[in-house]
Structure 1
């Protein structure tokens, strides 16, 4: 058995890259309303660490939980899932 804990991973879209080495990632999740059965979209924004400032607005990325890097930043961008084409 490995000593490394399982880390939470989320996928979302980059909405802001104006900060240095930080991107804002919007994560959407769909849940069913308990009474009416309609699907509701819930969203949350996370600040994630981007070491090389390589991710652009609109990129679909995967983020993983890590140690606190600043007051609001507890996530790191691990990889890009779908690149936004600006051609």
Structure 2
């Protein structure tokens, strides 16, 4: 998960690239064979519809609400899966 004070669309793009790369992790470093990963982003301040962009890309979106953090994805959300073969 990427976590910044501010969340921008560029942050979301960078995190999506990291999630793609994790599928290339060498098994001798860490064995993720057969694992399914889900992505999430969080920010205290969300810039320019970055939350909507992340949602559309299949990422969970966490946002500050008072002293709590909430997942803002609704019941129609379908998370993207990164399967490690």
Q: What TM-score, normalized to structure 1?
A: 0.24
**Larger strand fraction of residues:** 1
**Larger helix fraction of residues:** 2
Q: Which structure ranks higher in relative contact order (CA pairs < 8 Å, sequence separation ≥ 6)? A: 2
Q: What TM-score, normalized to structure 2?
A: 0.24
Larger Rg: 1
